[in-house]
Amino acid sequence: MAIDFLNPEYYDVSDIHPEAPNKPLLEELFKRENEQNERLWMFFTEIQEDPKHKKFGYAETMHWKARASYHRTQGDSKRAKRLERRMALEEAKQCDSDETFMDGYKDFLANEFE
């Protein structure tokens, strides 16, 4: 069964039987589920109405390493290599600003080559 985020199902607290165990917990869960449905509805409505929106497929929802592996299994190794290079560059840039990493790297260089 497909989930239609543009027509979410909202839960009514009055549907809970008066003698249901943990009624306060059920009321809280219904409230939180309705709030989440509202957030998802807003998100998907904005996507649907955005003229610059580009549809994304199954692979774009994966972690980048899994996505690279998926592209390889689909026979698109060039795309996998481009993705791996781009992500390696991003990780390297993040490490440049990480003081703990840079301290360890400088210590490694000082001790390894002397």
User: What are the boundaries of each domain within the chain?
Assistant: 13-49, 62-112
| pLDDT tens, residue by residue, 7-52 | 888 888 888 888 888 888 999 999 999 999 999 888 888 776 766 7
Amino acid 29: pLDDT:
92
Whole-angstrom distance, CA of residue 34 vs CA of residue 55: 26
Whole-angstrom distance, CA of residue 53 vs CA of residue 40: 16
pLDDT bracket for residue 4 (50, 70, 90): confident
- Of 23 and 113, the structure prediction assigns the larger pLDDT to 23
To the nearest whole number, what is the mean pLDDT of the chain?
A: 84
pLDDT bracket for residue 75 (50, 70, 90): very high
Model pTM score: 0.42
CA distances from 3 to 29, 36, 41, 81 (A): 19, 14, 12, 34
Tokens of 48: 């649907």
pLDDT bracket for residue 106 (50, 70, 90): confident
Amino acid 72: pLDDT:
92
SS3 letters for the chain? CCCCCCCCCCCCHHHCCCCCCCHHHHHHHHHHHHHHHHHHHHHHHHHHHCCCCCCCCCHHHCCHHHHHHHHHHCCCHHHHHHHHHHHHHHHHHHHHCCHHHHHHHHHHHHHHCC
